[in-house]
Structure 1
Amino acid sequence: MRRSSKPKPISCPPPGSILVPADSPLAAERLAEYQRDSPVPPSPETDSGSESLKLSCQPLISLSTGMPEASTNAETLSSLTSSFKDKMKMDKVRSVGGSSTHSVKQAQDLDQKKVTVQVGDRYKGTGQSSRRRLQAANLDITRAFQTCREEGTTRLDLSKSNISNIPTSVKDLTHLTELYLYSNRLATLPPEIGCLTNLKTLSLSENVITSLPEQLASLQVLRVLDCRHNRLTEIPSVVYKLVSLTTLYMRFNRIRDVDPELGNLVNLTNLSIRENNITELPGRIGELKSLVTCDCSYNQLKHLPPEIGDCTQLASLYLQHNQLEDLPMEIGNLTQLCQLGLRYNRLKCGSIPRTLANSILLEEFNVENNCIATLPEGLLASLDNLNSITLSRNQFTAFPSGGPAQFINITTLNMEHNKCDRNALRILDLEENYLESIPAEVGRLRELTRLILQSNALTQLPRAIAQLSQLQYLSAGENYLAFLPEEIGSLEALESLYVNDNPNLHSLPFELALCSNLQIMSIENCPLTQIPAEIVAGGPSLVIQFLKVQGPYRTM
Structure 2
Amino acid sequence: MTVEVERLIQEAGTTGAAVLNLSRRGLRRLPASIRELTGLTELDLSFNDLAELPNWVGDLTALTEIDLSGNRLRRLPESMAGLSALTHLYLSCCRQLEELPGWMAQLPSLTWLNLLYTDGDLIGSWSIDGLGALTHLNLDGCGLRVLPNWVAGCTALTDLSLRDNGLRSLTGLGRLNNLTWLDLSGNGLPFLPDEARDLTVLEQLSLFGNALTELPDWLAELTTLTYLNLGCNRLATVPDWIGDLTALQSLLLFENQLVSLPDSIGALTALQQLHLRSNRLTALPSSLGNLTALTQLAAGFNQLTAVPSSLGNLAALTHLELHDNPMTSAHDPHDPDTR
**1:287 and 2:148 matched:** no
SS in 1 for 2:256: coil
**1:209 and 2:73 matched:** yes
Code of the aligned partner of 2:63 = L
Q: Deviations over 1:295-328 (max 9, x none)?
A: 22122223322x2122122111111122223333
Q: Percent identity?
A: 26
**1:341 and 2:206 matched:** yes
Of 336, 343, 363, which aligns to 2:226? 363
CA contact (8 A) 2:305 2:327 kept: no
In structure 1, the partner of 2:179 is 314
Instruction: Provide the C-alpha distance between the structure 2 equivalents of 1:223 and 1:211, rounded to a whole number of angstroms.
Output: 20
**1:413 and 2:277 matched:** no
TM (normalized to structure 2)?
0.74
CA contact (8 A) 1:159 1:183 kept: no
Residues 475/296 of structure 1: CA separation in 2 closer, same or farther (3 Å cut):
closer
Code of the aligned partner of 2:236 = A
**1:383 and 2:249 matched:** no
SS in 1 for 2:6: coil
SS in 2 for 1:357: helix
Q: Which moved more, 1:170-179 or 1:221-230?
A: 170-179
CA contact (8 A) 1:271 1:293 kept: yes
* 1:33-48 map, 5 Å: 47=3
The alpha-carbon deviation at position 385 of structure 1 amounts to 0.7
Instruction: Provide the C-alpha distance between the structure 1 equivalents of 2:272 and 2:176, rounded to a whole number of angstroms.
Output: 30
SS in 1 for 2:66: strand
* 1:216-235 map, 5 Å: 216-232=80-96
In structure 1, the partner of 2:127 is 261
Instruction: Provide the C-alpha distance between the structure 1 equivalents of 2:62 and 2:331, rounded to a whole number of angstroms.
Output: 77
The alpha-carbon deviation at position 242 of structure 1 amounts to 4.0
Residues 264/283 of structure 1: CA separation in 2 closer, same or farther (3 Å cut):
closer
Q: Which moved more, 1:210-219 or 1:338-347?
A: 210-219
Code of the aligned partner of 1:250 = L
In structure 2, the partner of 1:398 is 260
SS in 2 for 1:139: helix
Residues 375/162 of structure 1: CA separation in 2 closer, same or farther (3 Å cut):
same
The alpha-carbon deviation at position 388 of structure 1 amounts to 2.5
Instruction: Provide the C-alpha distance between the structure 1 equivalents of 2:62 and 2:28, rounded to a whole number of angstroms.
Output: 24
In structure 2, the partner of 1:515 is none
Instruction: Provide the C-alpha distance between the structure 1 equivalents of 2:97 and 2:58, rounded to a whole number of angstroms.
Output: 22
The alpha-carbon deviation at position 46 of structure 1 amounts to 5.6
Q: Which moved more, 1:289-298 or 1:411-420?
A: 411-420
Q: Deviations over 1:410-441 (max 9, x none)?
A: 34333344455x2xx59857768799xxx999
Of 103, 118, 139, which aligns to 2:6? 139
Bigger RCO of structures 1 and 2 (CA < 8 A, at least 6 apart): 2
Code of the aligned partner of 2:161 = D
Instruction: Provide the C-alpha distance between the structure 2 equivalents of 1:287 and 1:229, rounded to a whole number of angstroms.
Output: 24
Q: Which moved more, 1:190-199 or 1:276-285?
A: 190-199
CA contact (8 A) 1:303 1:327 kept: no
Code of the aligned partner of 2:167 = L
Code of the aligned partner of 1:226 = Y
In structure 1, the partner of 2:45 is 181
Residues 426/414 of structure 1: CA separation in 2 closer, same or farther (3 Å cut):
closer
Residues 162/409 of structure 1: CA separation in 2 closer, same or farther (3 Å cut):
same
Residues 260/398 of structure 1: CA separation in 2 closer, same or farther (3 Å cut):
farther
Q: Deviations over 1:54-81 (max 9, x none)?
A: xxxxxxxxxxxxxxxxxxxxxxxxxxxx
The alpha-carbon deviation at position 367 of structure 1 amounts to 1.0
CA contact (8 A) 1:327 1:353 kept: yes
Instruction: Provide the C-alpha distance between the structure 2 equivalents of 1:428 and 1:406, rounded to a whole number of angstroms.
Output: 12
* 1:84-99 map, 5 Å: none
Code of the aligned partner of 1:339 = Q
Instruction: Provide the C-alpha distance between the structure 2 equivalents of 1:180 and 1:441, rounded to a whole number of angstroms.
Output: 44
CA contact (8 A) 1:214 1:238 kept: no
Q: Deviations over 1:449-488 (max 9, x none)?
A: x86677678xxxxxx8766999488967xxxxxxxxxxxx
Number of residue pairs matched by the alignment: 321
SS in 1 for 2:89: strand
Residues 442/429 of structure 1: CA separation in 2 closer, same or farther (3 Å cut):
farther
* 1:140-539 map, 5 Å: 144=10, 148=13, 153=16, 155=18, 157-160=20-23, 161-167=25-31, 176-232=40-96, 236-238=100-102, 240-244=104-108, 245-256=110-121, 257-261=123-127, 263-305=129-171, 307-349=172-214, 352-374=215-237, 377-378=240-241, 380-400=242-262, 403-420=264-281, 422=282, 428=286, 445=305, 471=333
Residues 473/228 of structure 1: CA separation in 2 closer, same or farther (3 Å cut):
closer
CA contact (8 A) 2:280 2:303 kept: no
The alpha-carbon deviation at position 217 of structure 1 amounts to 2.8
Q: Deviations over 1:355-383 (max 9, x none)?
A: 332322211222111223345551x1221
Residues 453/140 of structure 1: CA separation in 2 closer, same or farther (3 Å cut):
closer
SS in 2 for 1:389: strand
SS in 2 for 1:157: strand
SS in 1 for 2:192: coil
CA contact (8 A) 2:105 2:132 kept: no
Residues 177/468 of structure 1: CA separation in 2 closer, same or farther (3 Å cut):
closer
Which residues of structure 2 form unaligned runs of 5+? 316-325
In structure 2, the partner of 1:8 is none
Instruction: Provide the C-alpha distance between the structure 1 equivalents of 2:66 and 2:275, rounded to a whole number of angstroms.
Output: 42
CA contact (8 A) 1:393 1:416 kept: yes
SS in 2 for 1:225: strand
Which residues of structure 1 form unaligned runs of 5+? 1-44, 48-136, 458-463, 477-495, 497-556
Q: Deviations over 1:105-127 (max 9, x none)?
A: xxxxxxxxxxxxxxxxxxxxxxx
